[in-house]
Structure 1
Amino acid sequence: MTGELREAIRGVWNRFDPADRRVVNAADRTNVFEQLTGADYISLGALFVGWASALLFVGGEPNWGLLAMFAAFCLDKADGWYARRTGTSSPFGRQVDSFIDIFAYLVPAVLLYHFVLAPGVFASLVVGFLVLAFGGLRLVRHNSEGFGSDDGASFYHGTTVVHTNLVVVTNYFLAAFVGAWNGWLAGLVICVACPLMVSDYKAYKTDTSHVLAGLATVAAAGLALALEFGHL
């Protein structure tokens, strides 16, 4: 190393002050961990299980991947219940929840389609793009607008990422049980469903809808287990 190069490196090092890179003003600092509530930690649990489901789909274990994805769904519902019960709902928590929805519903859905249903890479490219694009835009809009209200009843503006995930899962079972069903038909149905996430459709948030979602999850988990162990 030449003397000039050493001097240049020394000069850069002497001008570097780690203290200058630290946010000092308390008003500008955000300690993420101090803002996390119990509900947010439940959401992080959903992220962990959702990532496990993604790895299972990649590893060729779609039925176990579905079960992991359903567990992420249960944790996602539990975090909202916990936040309401403890009065710890916050804008930060809603941002965390939306971020995790991407990995609990959207990413597993596109991986399930790609590794199990897709007839080719082009179909996966189109379907995956539409699911992620419309799903992401739907979550951004929800964070910006929040829930709508109609005579005291809350509703989502457009269908949710859970609905789109359900469409993909339904197509998985149709392909398993209906001989004429294939990846092209599944892709077409999924593509048609995607724009509904940014539509003006009112998806009401009611106790009945939660019960139906729970029952659908239990039924789908039973079907996944039956397929895994060869009972169907």
Structure 2
Amino acid sequence: MNTPHPEFQDSDLEAAPRKPRKGLYVLPNLFTLAALFGGFYAIVMAMNGRFENAAIGIFCAMVLDSLDGRVARMTGTQSAFGEQMDSLSDMVSFGAAPALVVYEWALKDLGRWGWIAAFVYCACAALRLARFNTNIGVIDKRFFQGLPSPAAAALVAGSLWLAVDAGWLPQEHPWLEWTMLGITLYAGLTMVTNAPFYSFKDFSLKRTVPFALLVGLVILIALVASHTPIALFALFCCYSLSGYLEYARRKWQGRHASLIATSTDEPDEAGLHR
């Protein structure tokens, strides 16, 4: 019986580990960097007192952030680097930027309550992004666990943009400072709730849709174009409430209401992810 040559032992027959890629995909990372620039631009504009431009920068970052993942999937250029880059960009554009912008505009004169509210929002954005990254592939992809950070940023930036467009100044209307503090805390804490927010990930442009839906989209575009600050603020107000309404609907139907997940390995989580 022949014995294998020492050069061909079982340990040597195992496939060699694949070498990491030396290059990066340009197109999806370009969208991510553009979204990061939107957040950085918002911070710079707030530092210069141009708060309307700051709000627009956050909304532009939100649009670009929604495109980078779709572009990566359409072109087959997904990568682990792109996922990490997207999370870091989100933290700047939808975590730090809205907190700093709203603090500079309305919360600065409230003293410690103002910076505490801004920090709570920023910290909740970080916690929400970390939880999202660890729960990928665990929870129902049709829903987000808590308010997504771009929507939370849009709620804060939209309320600011609406007030600036109306000519309201926090120095002239003290109630505006406390209103913005409440909106900032609501947006931040809603990010870390377990309420299910519809993700729209099962929506496909390749599917046929009812004619009424197409008419509704036309009306929505017309409303946004007619008065952008009011339309966007109303839209994201409704979305920020939709998770709690969905939670209440599930409770009323006797179904599992919240999305709670950290892994599928823990014994006490058996059956939780069905």
Cα distance, 1:160–1:215 mapped onto 2, change above 3 Å? farther
Measured on the aligned residues, the alpha-carbon RMSD in Å equals 3.4
1:155 paired to 2:143: yes
Comparing both structures, which one devotes a greater share of its residues to helix? 1
1:124 paired to 2:118: no
* Stretch deviating more after TM superposition (103-112 or 166-175): 166-175
Give unpaired runs (5+ residues) of structure 2: 1-16, 204-212, 231-274
- How many positions carry a matched residue from both structures? 193
Cα distance, 1:89–1:218 mapped onto 2, change above 3 Å? farther
1:196 paired to 2:185: no
Structure 1 counterpart of 2:61, which letter?
A
Identity %: 25
Matching residue of 2:152: 164
Structure 1 counterpart of 2:37, which letter?
F
Q: CA deviation at 1:187?
A: 0.5
Cα distance, 1:186–1:94 mapped onto 2, change above 3 Å? same
Cα distance, 1:114–1:54 mapped onto 2, change above 3 Å? same
1:79 paired to 2:68: yes
Q: CA deviation at 1:149?
A: 5.0
Q: CA deviation at 1:86?
A: 0.8
1:99 paired to 2:109: no
Q: CA deviation at 1:30?
A: 6.5
Cα distance, 1:180–1:132 mapped onto 2, change above 3 Å? closer
Counterparts of 2:181 and 2:229, CA distance in 1 = 21
Q: TM-score, normalised by structure 1?
A: 0.70
Cα distance, 1:135–1:66 mapped onto 2, change above 3 Å? same
Counterparts of 2:36 and 2:223, CA distance in 1 = 18
> Alpha-carbon deviations, 1:25-80, whole Å to 9, x = none?
xx7x967x724442122101211232112100111001112222222222212212
Matching residue of 2:181: 187
Counterparts of 1:221 and 1:197, CA distance in 2 = 27
Counterparts of 1:98 and 1:217, CA distance in 2 = 31
Q: CA deviation at 1:120?
A: 2.5
- 8 Å contact kept, 2:162–2:229: no
1:52 paired to 2:46: no
Counterparts of 1:135 and 1:205, CA distance in 2 = 17
Q: CA deviation at 1:220?
A: 10
Q: TM-score, normalised by structure 2?
A: 0.60
Matching residue of 1:112: 101
Structure 1 counterpart of 2:121, which letter?
V
Q: CA deviation at 1:122?
A: 1.5
Counterparts of 2:196 and 2:78, CA distance in 1 = 23
Select the residue among 104, 107, 127 that pairs with 1:137: 127
Give unpaired runs (5+ residues) of structure 1: 1-26, 225-232
Cα distance, 1:88–1:194 mapped onto 2, change above 3 Å? same
